[in-house]
């Protein structure tokens, strides 16, 4: 069971843009091997930083309009939002410590 919340176009505003804590959004797909590699790292970080940062996942195959809204052309793409605004963005299968460094100073 994942500690990251799956979000859709319908829930994105409430879960991400109106969040009172920073949000790490993982744009991913089932067939993407690097996405599968970082998945456990995201789950661990979601558990470790529960209440300080929210970790959510957007399946680009199921949510092409949401992926298009943020110009996602490669996955995995990780975007950190703070106060509803895009704060950081990184593409690729990153090691856990690099994912953590994307948001640690924002919490």
Per-residue pLDDT of the chain (107 residues; tens, 9 = 90+): 578 899 999 999 999 999 999 999 999 999 999 999 999 999 999 999 999 999 999 999 999 999 999 999 999 999 999 999 999 999 999 999 999 999 999 99
| Domain count across the chain | 1
Which is catalytic among the residues 7, 25, 35, 38?
A: 35
Which residue range forms the structural domain that includes residue 35? 5-106
Catalytic residue from among 4, 24, 32, 53 = 32
CATH number, residue 49: 3.40.30.10
Q: Any catalytic annotation for residue 65?
A: no
The answer to whether 43 is a known catalytic residue is no
SS (H, E, C) the chain: CCCCEECCHHHHHHHHHCCCCCEEEEEECCCCHHHHHHHHHHHHHHHHCCCCCEEEEEECCCCHHHHHHCCCCCCCEEEEEECCEEEEEEECCCCHHHHHHHHHHHC
What's the predicted TM-score (pTM) here? 0.95
């Amino acid at each position: 069971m994942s500690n990251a919340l799956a979000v859709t176009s319908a829930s994105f505003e409430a879960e991400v843009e109106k969040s009172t804590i920073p949000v790490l959004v993982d744009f991913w797909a089932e067939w993407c091997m690097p996405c599968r590699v970082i998945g456990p790292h995201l789950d661990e970080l979601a558990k470790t930083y529960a209440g300080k940062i929210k970790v959510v996942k957007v399946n680009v195959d199921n949510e092409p309009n949401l992926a298009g809204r943020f110009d996602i052309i490669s996955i995995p793409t990780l975007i950190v939002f703070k106060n509803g605004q895009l704060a950081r963005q990184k593409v690729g299968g990153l090691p856990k410590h690099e994912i953590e460094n994307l948001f640690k100073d924002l919490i």
